[in-house]
Amino acid sequence: MSTSQVVVIGGGPAGLMAAEVLAQAGVKVDLYDAMPSVGRKFLLAGKGGLNLTHSEPFDPFLSRYGSRVESVAPWLRSFGAEQLREWAGALGVTTFVGTSGRVFPSDMKAAPLLRAWLHRLRGQGVQFHMRHRFRGWTDSGQLRFAGPSGEVEVNADATILAMGGASWPQLGSDGAWAPLLAQRGVQVAPLLPANCGFDVRGGWSDYFRTRYEGQPFKSVAIRVGSFHRQGEFVATATGVEGSLVYAASALLRDEVIANGSATFELDLLPSRTPEQVAAEVAHPRGSRSLASHLKGRLSLDGIKLAVLHELLSKDEIQNPARLAAAIKSLPITVVAARPVQEAISTAGGVTFAAMDDQLMLNHAPGVFCAGEMLDWEAPTGGYLLTASFASARVAANGALQWLQRGEPAA
């Protein structure tokens, strides 16, 4: 097996993890990437603190993958959160659990982990070929790359594709691989924004936008159907974004696609019951203005008070019962997800029906897929990285088994 060559295409977390598994098994690994350096999106994700994984128990962790639970479960059973923390530890990177249950490197940074990882990979013999953009296959089955000196054709005994989704294309994940696979008969679900912001119906007024763009809604809750969660999000120039919106983004996006709009209910005071809010709003305010009354009785001011004025009529604002109901359940309608290029991650990609259990393409024997280019999605919180790592290990082990069978790659 030491004479076998596997080409890994993509230098993000999935590609690097696949390369590591293969190199540890004694396989010659050549990794190609279109960018000048690897791990660019990984480094960006770590700017505010690299969220590697999450500490919650396995069953709730697994539930974060929505309709893809059955497909993702085998990946995570063999390489889940604990195994990922152990892997980081072997690189000399200790981790800790934050107050939200998220897991971070002790220094919160991505760069030291990536440097240690690349040092180990190079020591294992992995060869890196940067500024090589994948262009598909030749008629004879060779891999085609547009390199710095022109087109390059490469033979491989097996290939692992780990080219990411279509979010943050300036960092290398532009989805340009999708038509190349479709040309080979591979079923690819449309690439859609995930963990994304949304535009509100009609847009914000000039008054609201100029004063509150970029301001957070803190200690609020949103409800979309059976989804209900507390947290915070941010007003944007055109709508809303941020962690709480991202958590509901798949539900909102799919509803917008199906019906042209989606509505979530915003609870501005989740720590207060509807009865408490109604009683405080109805309390006699004497000569005080409504704004002073709401601030004094409910500590309601700033962007929370502004959004009530933005979305309620003057009559509704002056009606205590209607105002109290809106404070606890203010409907906000969104009409479009922000473009996939702005999203944190991507939904859609190579469908599971197009692959076997080892993530090998049915229409391209010896070609395996991993990471975000597969048709799954997950919320932020470490779930994206964990499953990307885990899928890469499945694909790499599948490639090793393929090499043992000695069949030619497609």
pLDDT, residue 2, reads 39
- The string of pLDDT tens digits covering residues 77-114 is 999 999 999 999 999 999 999 999 999 999 999 999 99
Amino acid at 67: S
pLDDT, residue 171, reads 87
CA–CA gap between residue 1 and residue 316 (Å, rounded) = 74
Query: Residue 314: what are its φ and ψ, rounded to 5°?
Result: -60, -40
The CATH number that domain 5-194+347-405 falls under is 3.50.50.60
Residue 14 host element (H or E): helix 13-24
pLDDT, residue 45, reads 80
- The string of pLDDT tens digits covering residues 117-169 is 999 999 999 999 999 999 999 999 999 999 999 999 999 999 999 999 999 88
pLDDT, residue 44, reads 86
Dihedral of CA atoms 391, 394, 396, 402 in degrees, nearest 10, equals -140
pLDDT, residue 373, reads 96
Write the CA distances from 108 to 12, 56, 96, 103, 189, integer angstroms. 19, 19, 9, 9, 35
Residue 119 DSSP class: H
Q: Are 27 and 2 in contact (CB under 8 A)?
A: yes
pLDDT, residue 409, reads 60
CA–CA gap between residue 389 and residue 103 (Å, rounded) = 15
CB atoms within 10 A of CB 321: 11
> Coil, strand or helix: which one is 22?
helix
The residues spanned by each domain of the chain are: 5-194+347-405, 198-337
Look at strands 367-369 and 158-161 and give their pairing.
parallel
Q: Which residues pair with residue 330 across a beta bridge?
A: 266
> Coil, strand or helix: which one is 240?
strand
> What residues contact residue 406 under an 8 Å CB cut-off, 6+ apart?
none
Which residues in the chain come in under a pLDDT of 50? Answer: 1-2
CA–CA gap between residue 85 and residue 82 (Å, rounded) = 5
pLDDT, residue 410, reads 59
Q: Among candidates 14, 373, 2, which has minimal Cα distance to 164?
A: 373
pLDDT, residue 406, reads 76
> Coil, strand or helix: which one is 395?
helix
